[in-house]
Amino acid sequence: MRRSEVVGIQREHLDLMHGVVHLPHTKNGRARDVPLTPRAREALRRWVTGKPMRGRIFTMQPGSVTRAFIRARRRARLRYEGICRQHGRRPNAAYFRDLRFHDLRHEGTSQLATVFQIHELAKVNGNVDTRMLLRYYHPHGRELAQKLARSPLGRKQLEEMRREREIELEAMPMAA
């Protein structure tokens, strides 16, 4: 979700029973439903408990999110440098330096790509078409290989290879 979408969540659009938040106002002008991960669902459940059933669930503005993220990034960098010192290592100069809140959208999109089909991912992400989605989706070859191996095609080929290996072993002469 975009920063403005997160801070604009209305309580009446949050369906914790079904794990969905409805976003009637988005950047591209098209309303969408966003599925919540179990962790996000639980965090939101705790956050809204005892709060009004209508209105924004967060009182901050998008700029406040950015400032809080910058503070968190600085604290993370200091902690990283401290850990490096403890282990006698030189910190990577770029680590945590240029990370922006929006970068989390890229990471989240790549993680969700392991779950959703490309057209589903575009809808969840709020992309009008898959071309825009490709700006955010950065698959790793290793993850794609694992996904392929777990797919029906991958499982079929692994089973064929197992059977071929059994036939090869049966055809081998026994050692005396």
DSSP string, 23-56: ESS-TTS--EEEEPPHHHHHHHHHHHTTS-SSSB
Distance in angstroms (rounded) separating the CA atoms of residues 102 and 5 = 12
pLDDT, position 172: 81
Task: Say if pTM beats, i.e. exceeds, 0.75.
Answer: no
Q: Rounded mean pLDDT of 13-38?
A: 92
CA of residue 56 relative to chain centroid, distance:
24
DSSP 3-state of 140: coil
Contacts of 31 (CB under 8 A, 6+ apart): 22, 23, 24, 25
pLDDT, position 141: 82
pLDDT, position 97: 87
Q: What is the length of the chain? A: 176
Q: How far apart are the first and last CA of the chain?
A: 67
Model pLDDT for residues 60-107, shown as the tens digit of each residue: 998 999 999 999 999 999 999 999 999 999 999 999 888 998 888 888
Q: Which tokens belong to 14?
A: 């949050």
∠ CA 96-104-98, rounded to 5°? 30
Contacts of 93 (CB under 8 A, 6+ apart): none
Report whether pLDDT(148) > 90: no
pLDDT, position 176: 60
